[in-house]
Amino acid sequence: MSTTFQLDASTSRATPTPQPRKRLTVPKIRAHKQSGETKEPLVMLTAYTARQAQLLDAHCDMLLVGDSLGQVIYGLPSTLPVTTEMMIAHGAAVVRGSYHALVIVDMPFGSYEGSKEQAFDTASRIMAETGCAAVKLEGGEAMAETIAFLSSRGIPVMAHVGLTPQAVNVLGGYGARGRSQHEHDKIIADGQAVEQAGAFAVVAEGVVEPIAVSLTRTLEIPVIGIGASAQCDGQVLVTEDMLGMFERVPRFVKRYENLAEVISSAAETYATEVRARNFPTSDQTYQPKD
């Protein structure tokens, strides 16, 4: 029986355990959409740590190690300062903590745009050092040649069109895309270009709903929406947004829990008990044996 490294919740250590489910593959994700239709939408969430991956894995088809970790984990102002080393460290942790979902790792800004050869060097390193199954890069027609280069050399690519956070300085902010006919045409053209180049799926972020629906119906590969439409072939959210870890909630996010409040309340209770010398009690300390 094959094994994978699972985080033992009782010891907080990663130890080899039997693999209970076979991991999803790129062809299986691609084949989820048949004749332009996806009967059951694909589920994708971001993950950055082994324990987070372990908790999400059974519920997701794909786990995305997003460069959003720049803001979520490191408190950076944008995704632009994220390095390949950061992505590799977190990508490897997510692979170790999962056994079912397809793990995809974002290629950070500046690590692939220079040339298709640069993109291959970065992507091959990410895959080799993390064990992930695919990489994700931003851009449509401009990145088609790179996607084709990677795909033909054994590197599965998920594309990303519409609102592309790495291009925030060019776009002028994080506003929705597709409000003009020119943007509408560009998003559709970008989607078609990455599909023809060999991308196995594409994320459509922050696009007005009619465009998201049109793109989904136009492409044969799965379209994963974020701030797009329920009619897409799947959905992705930043897990910390979905769990209410931050005060700000983007328009396209539904807050399924308020973990920030739970964590703050638990920390407050702990602090109160420590200051009152009510913790630890005999239940949490070691006493001499008789």
Sign of CA dihedral 256, 260, 261, 262: positive
Amino acid at position 104, single letter: I
CB atoms closer than 10 angstroms to residue 188: 18
**268 and 235 belong to one structural domain:** no
Residue 149 covered by a domain: yes
**89 and 232 belong to one structural domain:** yes
> How far is C-alpha 75 from the geometric centre of its chain's CA atoms?
17
pTM: 0.90
Place of tokens 């049109």: 214
Amino acid at position 194, single letter: V
**151 and 221 belong to one structural domain:** yes
Residue 4 covered by a domain: no
**156 and 250 belong to one structural domain:** no
Place of tokens 């490897």: 92
pLDDT value of position 260: 97
Cα separation, 237 vs 133, in Å, equals: 20
**202 and 248 belong to one structural domain:** no
Residues 224 and 235 sit within 8 Å (Cβ to Cβ): yes
**156 and 166 belong to one structural domain:** yes
In the three-class reduction of DSSP (H, G, I as helix; E, B as strand; rest coil), residue 200 is classed as: coil
Tokens of 3: 């094994």
Q: Which of 37, 141, 183, 205 is catalytic?
A: 205
Residue 232 covered by a domain: yes
**185 and 253 belong to one structural domain:** no
**260 and 166 belong to one structural domain:** no
**87 and 188 belong to one structural domain:** yes
Residue 286 covered by a domain: no
Beta bridge partners of 236: 44
Residue 40 covered by a domain: yes
**231 and 270 belong to one structural domain:** no
**164 and 44 belong to one structural domain:** yes
pLDDT value of position 11: 56
- What is the CATH number for 115? 3.20.20.60
Q: Which domain holds residue 125?
A: 21-173+181-242
**163 and 111 belong to one structural domain:** yes
Residue 133 covered by a domain: yes
CA 144, 149, 151 angle in degrees (round to 5)?
A: 90
pLDDT tens series, the chain, 290 aa: 234 555 566 655 655 555 567 899 999 999 999 999 999 999 999 999 999 999 999 999 999 999 999 999 999 999 999 999 999 999 999 999 999 999 999 999 999 999 999 999 999 999 999 999 999 999 999 999 999 999 999 999 999 999 876 755 455 454 565 567 778 899 999 999 999 999 999 999 999 999 999 999 999 999 999 999 999 999 999 999 999 999 888 888 999 999 999 999 999 999 999 999 999 999 999 999 87
pLDDT value of position 212: 94
Q: Is 209 a residue of the active site? A: no
Q: How many domains does the chain have?
A: 2
Residue 14 covered by a domain: no
